[in-house]
Structure formats: C-alpha cells, structure tokens
C-alpha cells in the first residue's frame, strides 16, 4: 500500500465529507438526545430534591402538631386526674361524715337503750327487792 499525494487528498476530502454527513445524520441527533436525557435526569433530580424538601417540611409540621396534641392530651389527662382526685376526696369526706353520723346515731341509740334497760332494771330491782324482802319477812313472821 502506497501513500501518494492524490490518494491522501482523496482520503482527506472523503474524511471531511463523511464527517459532515455523519455529523448531521448521527452525531448531532445523538448529542441532542444525550443532552435532552441529561436535562430530564437533572430535572428529575431537582424535582426529587424539591419533593424531599417538601416531605421533610411536612414531617416537621407533623411532628410539631403531634407534640402539640401530646401536650394537650397530657394537660387533659392531668385535668381529669385532678378532677378525679377532687371527686375522690369529696366521696371520702362524705363517707366519713356519713360514718360519723351513723356512729353518732348508733351511740345515741345504744345510750337510749342502755338508759331504758337501766330504768327497766331499776324498776325490776325495786320490785324484786320488795318481793325478796316480802318473801324473807313472810317466812320469818
């Protein structure tokens, strides 16, 4: 294979012509599609970044709202507990008062029964004393 000047010029012209044909038919469409693909990928990444930021913001909002709800629930629970304790104290106090009243009534009833029993015993004692005395005197006389 010999390299002569006309062959070299012919090959150079053929190379340049083929370059321009391939440039317009293959290279430019390929590079355009590659650039478009790169742009879509970059756009998708940017959109994903925006969505990630939005998700983080929504998560932060959610956490703040949940913290507020937890605080409200804790306050409501404490209030319910406080009311239950107050109600418990009122019930206990009412039971104590009822027990004291029942005890006082029972003591009064017992005292009245004891007084009635003493009175009955006193009457019976006097009657029995008279019977015993009469019996003793009746026998001796």
Please give the helix or strand (H or E) that residue 27 lies within, else none. Answer: none
Q: Write the pLDDT tens digit of every residue in 51-100.
A: 999 999 999 999 999 999 999 999 999 999 999 999 999 999 999 999 99
- For the chain, the farthest-separated pair of C-alpha atoms sits apart, in whole angstroms, at 190
**What is the C-alpha to C-alpha distance for residues 99 and 3, in angstroms, rounded to an integer?**
130
Q: How confident is the model at residue 108 (pLDDT cuts 50, 70, 90)?
A: very high
What pTM was estimated for this model as a whole? 0.47
**Residues contacting residue 15 through CB under 8 Å, at least 6 positions apart:** none
């Amino acid at each position: 294979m010999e390299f002569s000047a006309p062959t070299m010029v012919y090959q150079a012209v053929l190379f340049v012509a083929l370059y321009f044909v391939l440039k317009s038919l293959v290279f430019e469409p390929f590079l355009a599609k590659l650039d478009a693909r790169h742009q879509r990928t970059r756009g998708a990444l940017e959109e994903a970044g925006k969505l990630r930021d939005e998700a983080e913001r929504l998560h932060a909002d959610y956490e703040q709202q949940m913290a507020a709800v937890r605080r409200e629930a804790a306050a409501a629970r404490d209030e319910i507990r406080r009311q239950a304790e107050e109600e418990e104290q009122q019930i206990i106090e009412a039971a104590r008062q009822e027990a004291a009243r029942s005890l006082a009534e029972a003591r009064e009833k017992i005292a009245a029964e004891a007084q009635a029993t003493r009175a009955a015993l006193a009457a019976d004692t006097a009657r029995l004393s008279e019977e015993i005395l009469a019996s003793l005197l009746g026998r001796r006389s």
